[in-house]
Amino acid sequence: MKYTDSICYFRDGFLSAKDANLNIASSPVLYGLSVYTVFAATWNKSTKELYVFRLKDHFKRLKNSANIMDFDSFVSDWTYEKFEKIVLELLKRNAVEENVLVRATVFIDEIAAGTKIHGLKNSLSVYAYPMGEILPRNGIHACVSSWQRTADNAIPSRAKINGSYANASLMKNEALLNGYDEAISVDKNGHVCEGTVANICIVRDGQLITPDPATDILEGITRDTILRLSEMAKIPTIQRSIARSELYVAEEVFMCGSSAQITPVLSIDRRQIADGKSGPITEKLKALLGQLQNGSNKNFSEWTQKVV
């Protein structure tokens, strides 16, 4: 499918994506006053079925983000049942038969309202687009960014706020200009946070380690999935702060997220990670995640929803 030829949900109904537009003086355009979530809808080629992954959790995070930003009418008026109906209808109207991402955004739907938030109109948009590769799936070369991760007390990190991605964009731009695929952020204490669009995990002495939620990270749903899958696969895990130098001596490093899926990191700051290949734990978790998303692994069947 092509986004430009697709059907989307915008404000109060379905329409052509070409007709879904915002005023140049609107709050999300001027101030980035919108929050979003993005999740996978995976096509199972064997069964010819489409599965949405962890839809309830994505709605919960969207509502939590709206609550943090005080988008009060969305928080009070929207239910999961209403959201679910729109998402499933969107996928059916577009006759999706491939792996796609679905992006749902709540925005302040006002013109020239200044920086105000509370009591203003909230609207929803939802659209789907081909998954593609936001990062090269066979592995990336990353750098630690010179830009510091925005602190939670400045722009809340556990909310997916569109405006906060200016911070990530500066990191990504710097990385690309310097010949890397991706950037890794650190907080004010120099502790590793995440990539520009995904959480980060490392492996040391066979243990999976990921930054704890107090390290200015987004509490990623794929990150949570990885922790649950690791527990099932008897891989020891811990959430704690990670020092920059630990990245260089890790046995494995990978990024994880709805868009990035699981992407191995082959080098950081031009230092090769282990043998410079995707490691065994990374590959095991990648396979398990793929089986979950296409509905073929029934261990967490409550996480997948078939589109019928």
Domains of the chain: 3-130 (3.30.470.10), 140-293 (3.20.10.10)
In the prediction, which pLDDT does 240 show? 98
Percent of the chain whose pLDDT exceeds 90: 96
- Token look-up 């999976």 returns 208
In this structure, what token pair is assigned to residue 37?
Answer: 């979530």
Query: In 3D, which of 65, 39, 197, 54 has the Cα closest to residue 122?
Result: 65
**pLDDT digit string (tens) for 10-50?**
999 999 999 999 999 999 999 999 999 999 999 999 999 99
Name, in order, each residue with C-beta under 8 angstroms of 234's C-beta and a sequence gap of 6 or more.
none
Place of tokens 């650190």: 186
Asked if the model's pLDDT at residue 123 lies above 90, the reply is yes
**Averaged pLDDT for residues 149-174:** 97
At 179-194, the pLDDT tens digits run: 999 999 999 999 999 9
**Average pLDDT in the 136-164 region?**
96
User: How far, in Å, are 61, 131, 153, 218 from residue 150 at the CA level?
Assistant: 19, 27, 8, 11
pLDDT of the residue at 165: 97
Q: How many CB atoms lie within 10 A of CB 283?
A: 15
Half-sphere exposure at residue 35, Cβ-oriented, CA atoms within 13 angstroms: 26
Q: ∠ CA(50), CA(54), CA(62), 5° rounding?
A: 120
| 253-293: pLDDT as tens digits | 999 999 999 999 999 999 999 999 999 999 999 999 999 99
- CA diameter of the chain: 55
Q: Does 299 score more than 90 pLDDT?
A: no
Mean pLDDT computed over every residue of the chain: 97
* 54 has pLDDT over 90: yes
The C-alpha atoms of residue 261 and residue 138 are separated, in whole angstroms, by 11
> Could you give the CA distance from residue 99 to residue 249 in angstroms, rounded to a whole number?
35
Question: pLDDT at residue 148 above 90?
Answer: yes
Runs of H (alpha helix) within 38-79: 55-68, 72-77
Cα 16 to Cα 299: distance, rounded to the nearest angstrom: 38
